[in-house]
């Protein structure tokens, strides 16, 4: 009997141990996540961070002087340290976007259900184009960043790569991606919230992104910029139907972040910038009511950047901008026309004149925002807008730069980048700042300075100092 008891006790212990092990296992947690789910997550995280108006994450509308602030205005005065803004933006792109895209790639590579290798190649190319887009945002924000050693769990303290070297590799990746996308007709059957797995659209996106990046090199490596731009042009976006647009929904949690920040929160933090309103007003611009509301006196008025401003006495972002389901765009055909205007002004090999494409860019922007072709024609016909007569003595950079900045309203990062490239419009730092210039980059996150100190110090020295006013390699 004693022996039987011992045996039964042993069996009971084994059963008990198994039950305790089961308690540590979540039966609802998948052992792997499908690639399309990871792509969806990465796309939404990317568009969210680029669209957000939350001052803890995205302050580019303030730095590009499309908007300014009311009560709390540190961010408009270039304070990104107090709220840890650089770290939040950095983390969102590395952890929430690139890490998901990396996992999506791994899932595609190991997916035994994919029997057509052209589909697998197309899926990998689609993911890679999203990665390249994200990397170019990081480089254009910080300069040198961890790249070749990043996202590797075995390298917790990655070295920083030279920004120009990263760009060179990104161009090569885009070329490889365009080759793969050209070979197949479809990739993801679900999960792609931007182009629904349409290879032809992702090919246009990749080519247009290559053109955008090429223009960043125009002042420092004109021959390379020219050849890359011209090579990509035949495959680029050719109408607004090609826009890379993310469509939000009317119900949380899939609403536009601006609605969350401005409407759902009930906060009254943001108003139109005086810089934006004055330029729109001086040009009799038909986009004024599409961009902003009137103030409590029924007029359009912008607040002074970097100071306290009245919410009621100044214009606010329009109802269209604040809509829960307002779409968000990563790249648009409007940009393509302004790119072509610049290329023509640089005497690159493109069809049409700078004026042709300048007019087309303005028209596309007005139509994109809900105006009419008649509005666009009347606007362009004004002597102070017409390319040939506008701003007597102005350079093409000023003419194109001013109008492209206006067209990129509500896309703060892209507007800030174009200002850095072309130096127009004439943005003025907030009053009262001593020896202050408008920032040309984000400084590195504080945790990089402390945890990854050695690599941070090397990167800082390589770019000429970790300062807000240090210029990126392409900013001449």
- Structural domains of the chain, count: 1
Average pLDDT, the chain: 93
- The pLDDT of residue 18 is 45
- Structural Rg of the chain based on CA atoms: 25
**Residue 227 counted as domain residue:** yes
**Residue 140 counted as domain residue:** yes
The CA distance from 58 to 52, in Å, is: 6
- How many alpha carbons lie under 13 Å from residue 350 in its C-beta half-sphere? 30
Q: Two tokens at 181?
A: 């996308």
pLDDT tens-digit map of 288-340: 999 999 999 999 999 999 999 999 999 999 999 999 999 999 999 999 999 99
**Residue 116 counted as domain residue:** yes
pLDDT tens-digit map of 46-101: 999 999 999 999 999 999 999 999 999 999 999 999 999 999 999 999 999 999 99
**Residue 240 counted as domain residue:** yes
**Residue 118 counted as domain residue:** yes
Average pLDDT over residues 444-453: 97
The CATH number that applies at residue 226 is 1.25.40.390
Residue 196, domain extent: 35-67+81-252+443-463
**Residue 121 counted as domain residue:** yes
**Residue 200 counted as domain residue:** yes
**Residue 242 counted as domain residue:** yes
Strand bridging mode 67-69 / 160-161: unpaired
132, 116, 144: which is closest to 442 by C-alpha? 144
In this prediction the pTM is 0.93
């Amino acid at each position: 009997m004693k022996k039987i008891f011992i045996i039964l006790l042993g069996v009971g212990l084994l059963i008990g141990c198994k039950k305790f092990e089961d308690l540590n296992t979540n039966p609802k947690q998948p052992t792997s996540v499908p690639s399309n789910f990871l792509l969806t997550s990465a796309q939404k995280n990317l568009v969210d961070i680029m669209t957000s108006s939350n001052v803890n994450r995205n302050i580019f509308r303030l730095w590009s002087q499309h908007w300014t602030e009311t009560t709390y205005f540190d961010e408009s005065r270039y304070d990104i340290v107090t709220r840890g803004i650089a770290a939040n933006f950095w983390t969102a792109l590395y952890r929430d976007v690139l890490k998901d895209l990396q996992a999506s790639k791994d899932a595609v590579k190991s997916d035994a259900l994919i029997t057509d290798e052209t589909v697998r190649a197309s899926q990998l190319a689609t993911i890679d184009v999203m990665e390249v887009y994200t990397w170019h945002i990081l480089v254009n924000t910080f300069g040198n960043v961890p790249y070749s050693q990043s996202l590797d769990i075995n390298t917790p303290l990655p070295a920083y790569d030279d920004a120009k070297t990263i760009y060179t590799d990104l161009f090569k990746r885009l070329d490889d991606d365009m080759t793969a996308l050209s070979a197949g007709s479809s990739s993801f059957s679900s999960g792609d919230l931007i182009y629904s797995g349409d290879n032809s659209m992702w090919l246009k996106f990749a080519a247009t992104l290559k053109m955008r990046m090429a223009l960043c090199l125009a002042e420092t490596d004109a021959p390379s910029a020219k050849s890359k731009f011209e090579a990509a042009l035949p495959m680029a976006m050719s109408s607004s139907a090609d826009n890379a647009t993310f469509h939000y929904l009317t119900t949380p949690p899939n609403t536009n972040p601006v609605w969350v920040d401005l409407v759902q929160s009930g906060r009254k933090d943001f108003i139109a910038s005086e810089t934006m309103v004055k330029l729109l007003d001086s040009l009799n611009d038909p986009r004024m009511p599409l961009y902003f509301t009137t103030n409590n006196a029924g007029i359009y008025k912008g607040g002074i950047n970097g100071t306290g401003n009245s919410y009621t006495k100044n214009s606010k972002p329009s109802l269209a901008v604040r809509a829960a389901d307002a779409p968000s765009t990563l790249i648009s055909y409007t940009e393509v026309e302004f790119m072509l205007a610049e290329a023509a002004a640089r005497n690159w090999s493109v069809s049409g004149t700078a004026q042709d494409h300048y007019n087309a860019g303005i028209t596309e922007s007005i139509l994109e925002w809900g105006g009419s072709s008649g509005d666009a024609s009347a606007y362009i016909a004004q002597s102070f807008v017409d390319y040939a007569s506008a701003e007597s003595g102005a350079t093409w950079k000023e003419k194109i730069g001013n109008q492209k900045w206006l067209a990129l309203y509500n896309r703060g990062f892209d507007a800030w980048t174009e200002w850095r490239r072309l130096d127009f419009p004439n943005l003025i730092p907030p009053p009262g700042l001593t020896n202050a210039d408008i920032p040309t980059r984000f400084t590195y996150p504080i945790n990089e300075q402390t945890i990854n100190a050695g690599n941070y110090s090397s990167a800082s020295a390589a770019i000429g100092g970790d300062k807000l006013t240090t210029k990126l390699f392409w900013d001449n």
